[in-house]
A = this chain, B = another copy of it.
Amino acid sequence: MKWAKALFEPRGVAVVGSASQGKIGYELIQQLTEGGFDRVVAVNPKGVGAFDVPGVTSLSEIPEDMTVDLAVIAAPAATVAGVLEDCGRAGVGAAVLITAGFSESGNHAEEEKVLRVARTHGIRVIGPNCAGIVNTRHRLFPTLETRPPAGDVAFISQSGALGGAVLSWAEEQGMGFSKFVSYGNAADLSEIDLLDYLRNDEETKAVALYIESVSDGRRFMETARRLSAVKPLIVIKSGRSESGSRATLSHTGSMAGADAVYDAALTQCGAIRVAGVEEMFDLCRGFVSLPPVKGKRIAIVTNSGGPGVLATDAAESVGLEIISPSDALRTRLKETLHPYCSLGNPIDLTVQGTEDDYRNALVEILDEADAALAINVNTPYLDASPLARGVVAAAQATGKPVVANFMAGRTVETALPVLQNGDVPNFATGERAVRALGEMASWAAGCGVAEDGRRTADETRELPWEGQATEIDAMRWLQSNGVPVIAHRLCRTVEEAVEAQTTFDRPVAMKVVSPEILHKTDVGGVMLGLATGEEIGAAFDRMREIGGATFEGVLVTPMADHPVEVLVGLTRDPQFGPVIAVGMGGVLTEVLHDVCLRVAPVDEAEARRMLASLRGQPLLEGHRGRPACDISALAGLISRVSDLPFVYPEIGELDLNPVFCSETGCEAADARVVRET
């Protein structure tokens, strides 16, 4: 990518804007020169420089011996388009527009003008309204934020201020960055372009991203998925509590919403969503320091019982397994460790634990565990660094991921550099350490399997009815699209209804059929368990009354024998397009909002993961001695339904509620389709 070279590895940088002391241009020049970048020129009407950087009045006057690939622009908004014209003529390849006052404050026209000029000259733009960029390996710091230490994490932030805070915090958290980009209004280059670039950036082992929104949901997912297949993508998406303020799923009401769709999309593309900056730091440090966490089997070696138990609690709460050492291992540990040690897991070395004990205990137990946490609650009068050396030695000897929780304060000051240099990340608490291991294990397990489920419909079709579908229209249409539906009979007379019941040979359900009645239950238009001629007759009369002028008959279906009820729904999200929802129906859906969303389409494997994520999932697996449902059939139904909005673009909403599931298969027992308006 040519733009990336100009942006991150420029041969020279022009800082455009006043270089008088206290002005942004001045600060940028200071940052660049103090950071160690020496091919800088200042461009401003007065032609003044600063910090030994020469000043010129125009980009056309740049000294012949300097090739400027990057312009960092802090000039007033109204002048930016003109500056870019100059940049174009001077052969600049990329521009970072620090200047604010564009679309973020309503000035869309000026932003479009700037973009047009940039496109004309082939200049790629970061910003406007951004806090700058960093490339530590190139000693390039055209930003007003703290210059962070070099490291292996790239950090991309929609918010300049949050980005700056993260950079300021990095050093005390023992974190370093490869690149940082505050992309502001993303008039040209967006988070999508940057993620695409970082996938192949060899200086970046993990990518952290702060977003408030994305501009193109589907493209974002595609890019994030490709990145996640090769390196971890850790995302803070703010605005969780806005949930429900936007798109809602018809039946599932309050459980959907923009944030829930983002959550689904991030899960689908293999990104790791975290709630805040601390968790982001913890995960980034884990990912860049450690080898992959290849399983969920964890060991804890401690010299104090209490913190070991707290870490155990946390480990189990994130789905890690605290392994039980084999008898052979116990024997080996007994031979190696001093006799006071408790040889379970956690292994408690007690306060007498030595460098050798830590090393030996970790080396032995990592023979059976996938990763380990070493806890040292340090006694103030003992030097913690030998213990740190023991931990590092074990990590190096085994090649397995080892994290540490050396507590606390000044009593472990000497140990922390030992751990850091030995690539054993130290966490503030054991709980945070195991939470990081848990996320890393999940990521490693899912890495690469998150395949692109996207399919393009061969052809699109129109819905085979005018206006609003009756339930029977919808059922037939579903059937013709390979979605199994319950046996049903449209009956226009009592006699037909009685005959239908006789044919089904079991009690039946009856529902009014009328194009005017959408929510049949609410008006009493559904009656269940009708077994005799009298019951059917009475029900039919009632349905006719409810149906009124538009009564078309009743739909008669056989009562199922206590099936498991599942809800399958479709809706459209303004950002991500068709979204599929799956829930366990009944109270679980309505009261507990136990619904899983995914951006459609999903394949059967993803549909199975959706079902597995439901709290009510045990119901499908043969709860309390009942046979397990045919999960394969259900996953197939979900996947086929998720394809429908691509074949029939007119679908706005679709609800199959309930879908009856049993050991022999599944079938939609009710259907409602709403046309996109």
Task: Give chain A's interface residues, CB within 8 Å of chain B.
Answer: 27, 144-146, 157-159, 161-162, 164-166, 168-172, 210, 212, 236, 238-241, 275-278, 303-307, 309-310, 312-317, 322, 351, 377-381, 407-412, 428-429, 431-432, 522, 586-588, 590-592, 615-616, 618-619, 623-625
Contact = CB atoms under 8 A, between A and B. Distances in A.
A339 to B, nearest CB: 11
Given A169-B408, A314-B275, A592-B592, A303 B27 contact: no
- The 9 A-B pairs with the shortest beta carbon distances in the complex, nearest first, are A161-B304, A159-B306, A169-B408, A162-B306, A165-B407, A238-B309, A240-B313, A241-B316, A168-B408
25 contacts: A144-B381, A146-B380, A146-B409, A146-B410, A161-B305, A161-B306, A162-B306, A162-B377, A165-B407, A168-B378, A168-B407, A171-B409, A172-B408, A212-B306, A239-B309, A239-B313, A240-B316, A241-B313, A241-B315, A241-B322, A275-B310, A276-B310, A276-B314, A278-B432, A587-B616
Contact of A306 (B210, B241, B315, B616): B210
Contacts of A164: 377, 379-380
Contacts of A313: 238-241, 275
A241 B304 contact: no
Contacts of A157: 306
B410 A241 contact: no
A431 B275 contact: yes
A241 B312 contact: yes
Given A238-B306, A306-B161, A587-B616, A168 B317 contact: no
Contacts of A379: 144-145, 164
Contacts of A410: 146, 168, 171-172
Contact of A307 (B27, B145, B161): B161
A555 B159 CA distance: 68
Contact of A619 (B307, B322, B428, B591): B591
A411 B616 contact: no
A240 B315 CA distance: 11
A26 B607 CA distance: 67
A242 B379 CA distance: 28
Q: How many copies does the complex hold?
A: 2
Contacts of A144: 379-381
Nearest to A521: B624
A618 B588 CA distance: 12
Contacts of A168: 378, 380, 407-412
B623 A590 contact: yes
Q: Which of A161, A240, A407 has the most CB of B within 10 A?
A: A161
A169 B407 contact: yes
A162 B304 contact: yes
Nearest to A166: B408
B592 A165 contact: no
Contact of A165 (B236, B304, B431): B304
A241 B300 CA distance: 15
Contacts of A310: 236, 238, 275-277
Nearest to A211: B306
Contacts of A380: 144-146, 164, 168
Contacts of A428: 278
A599 to B, nearest CB: 22
A254 to B, nearest CB: 11
Contact of A212 (B170, B309, B586, B590): B309
B591 A615 contact: yes
Given A309-B239, A431-B275, A409 B304 contact: no
A106 to B, nearest CB: 13
Contacts of A159: 304-307
A566 to B, nearest CB: 13
Point out which of A407, A586, A591 has the most chain B C-beta atoms below 10 A from its C-beta.
Answer: A591
A624 B306 contact: no
Contacts of A411: 146, 168
A238 B412 CA distance: 24
Given A238-B306, A313-B239, A165 B377 contact: yes
A455 to B, nearest CB: 34
Contacts of A409: 146, 168-172
Contacts of A590: 623-624
Nearest to A307: B162
A286 B634 CA distance: 51
A209 to B, nearest CB: 12
A210 B212 CA distance: 39
A179 to B, nearest CB: 19
Contacts of A165: 304, 307, 377-378, 407-408
Most B C-beta atoms less than 10 A away, residue of A428, A432, A586:
A428
A185 to B, nearest CB: 13
Given A159-B305, A240-B317, A275-B431, 5 more contacts: A146-B410, A165-B307, A276-B431, A278-B429, A590-B623
A492 to B, nearest CB: 30
A250 to B, nearest CB: 15
Contacts of A618: 591
A53 B412 CA distance: 30
A377 to B, nearest CB: 4
Nearest to A170: B409
Contacts of A276: 310, 314, 429, 431
A587 B591 CA distance: 12
A318 to B, nearest CB: 11
